[in-house]
């Protein structure tokens, strides 16, 4: 599924309130893909209905021109049968736009050709021809695709009208058709605008439900869902998977000495630094308080330890300006790797948590692997500088 960063979600939320709505390329592709899925689900239901409408016009044919109504009926039946190629996915690999083009050409073409065959002809069928244009207003979200779908039937209408009608009648029909085409295109663009705004609001709500409001990291519920999915993929395809749990050392002292607003900034800086250091396929979330978890797909033990050490070193070098002076902080990290000892997500998370607490006991500001024997606790150096975080036992 498509997901947005916190900054992008905020920008899109603002854009949803102001016209015009310009989506980033990635969001535009996601919106079109979502719309294509909806259109594909509707095609098997709507296109037989369109075919039935085309066939019911035969009743009107018998009223207008009984002599040619039989021929018109054969044309309508043949067109509806040919349109069946676009009802469902086929071996040709047609996309939704191609299938809609085939369906529309068959149905609209049948209406135009039958109107040309009958007498008094095309002028009396302008209402049905115009109505068929509006059926395409909800099929696509792009003007280029809309014009591509209606291009062939429009050309057919112009050629047959020019062949059958006097120039005054031809001009009148052409003006009516162009007006209907312009109005249908406007309806399509308006529908696109509403669809864009609905998509933006949906993405904003989805982001809010999946991410921590303070830091922008994944919240616990969403992180567990992602972790279960990644673990299932690792089990199915025999891939490696690692989990790293981070906890800020002496975070209570940060809040006590610098204030909770500075503590919030520490959490935000930690998330910003870690997200910048991780891969796109990695997942970073907040369990609660000052505890965070990295889910590292396709990562073995050695790679996980290197990644955890890189995160620890990067965070140890951060300096935050505060009214009391520069502030630094460190983290303790526990790493666990998927295997027989940790066969599911709760076991994997518990192992990483135990390794993280062993890192705390071994002196903090270090990385420990689940299953390693405990090490001698290192002596904690005294705090240096007015801006250093005080160390406690």
Domains of the chain: 6-209 (no CATH), 220-369 (3.30.70.270)
Tokens of 295: 């889910």
pLDDT of amino acid 375: 62
Q: Computed over its alpha carbons, how large is the radius of gyration of the chain? A: 32
pLDDT of amino acid 134: 86
CB 184 within 8 A of CB 136: yes
Q: What is the pLDDT of residues 267-279, one digit of tens each?
A: 999 999 999 999 9
Q: Return the HEC string of 250-265.
A: CHHHHHHHHCHHHHHH
Q: What is the pLDDT along the chain (393 residues), one digit of tens a residue?
A: 344 444 444 444 444 444 555 677 777 888 888 888 888 887 777 778 888 888 888 888 888 889 999 999 999 999 988 888 777 666 667 788 888 888 889 989 999 999 999 988 888 888 888 888 888 888 888 888 899 999 999 999 999 999 999 999 999 999 999 999 999 999 988 888 888 888 888 888 888 889 998 999 999 999 999 999 999 999 999 899 999 999 999 999 999 999 999 999 999 999 999 999 999 999 999 998 999 999 999 999 999 999 999 999 999 999 999 888 899 999 999 999 998 888 899 999 999 999 999 999 999 999 999 987 666 544 343 333 334 444 432
Q: What is the pLDDT of residues 247-266, one digit of tens each?
A: 999 999 999 999 999 999 99
Tokens of 72: 């018109």
Look up the pTM and report it: 0.63
Tokens of 2: 């498509």
């Amino acid at each position: 599924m498509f997901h947005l960063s916190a900054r992008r979600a905020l920008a899109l939320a603002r854009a949803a309130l102001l016209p015009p709505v310009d989506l980033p390329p990635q969001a535009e592709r996601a919106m079109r893909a979502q719309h294509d899925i909806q259109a594909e689900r509707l095609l098997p239901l709507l296109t037989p209905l369109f075919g039935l409408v085309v066939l019911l016009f035969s009743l009107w044919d018998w009223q207008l021109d009984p002599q040619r109504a039989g021929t018109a009926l054969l044309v309508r039946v043949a067109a509806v049968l040919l349109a069946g190629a676009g009802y469902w996915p086929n071996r040709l690999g047609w996309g939704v736009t191609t299938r809609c083009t085939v369906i529309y050409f068959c149905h609209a073409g049948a209406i135009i050709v039958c109107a040309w065959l009958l007498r008094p002809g095309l002028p009396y069928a302008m209402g049905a021809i115009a109505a068929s244009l509006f059926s395409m207003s909800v099929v696509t979200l792009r003007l280029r695709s809309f014009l591509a779908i209606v291009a062939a039937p429009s050309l057919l209408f112009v050629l047959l009208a020019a062949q059958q009608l006097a120039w005054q009648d031809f001009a009148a029909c052409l003006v009516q058709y162009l007006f209907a085409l312009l109005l249908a295109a406007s309806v399509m663009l308006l529908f696109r605008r509403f669809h864009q705004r609905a998509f933006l609001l949906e993405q904003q709500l989805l982001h809010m439900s999946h991410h921590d409001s303070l830091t922008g990291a994944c919240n616990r519920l969403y992180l567990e869902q992602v972790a279960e999915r990644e673990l299932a993929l690792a089990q199915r395809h025999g891939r490696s998977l690692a989990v790293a749990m981070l906890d800020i050392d002496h975070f209570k002292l940060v809040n006590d000495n610098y204030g909770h607003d500075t503590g919030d900034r520490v959490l935000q800086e930690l998330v910003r630094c870690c997200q910048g250091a991780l891969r796109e396929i990695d997942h970073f979330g907040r369990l609660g308080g000052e505890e965070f978890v990295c889910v590292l797909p396709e990562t073995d033990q050695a790679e996980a330890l290197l990644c955890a050490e890189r995160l620890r070193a990067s965070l140890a070098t951060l300096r935050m300006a505060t009214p009391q002076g520069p502030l630094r902080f460190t983290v303790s990290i526990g790493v666990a790797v998927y295997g027989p000892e940790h066969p599911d997500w709760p076991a994997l998370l518990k192992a990483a948590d135990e390794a993280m607490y062993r890192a705390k006991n071994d002196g903090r500001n270090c990385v420990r692997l689940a299953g390693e024997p405990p090490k001698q606790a290192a002596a904690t150096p005294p705090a240096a500088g007015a801006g250093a975080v005080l160390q406690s036992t």
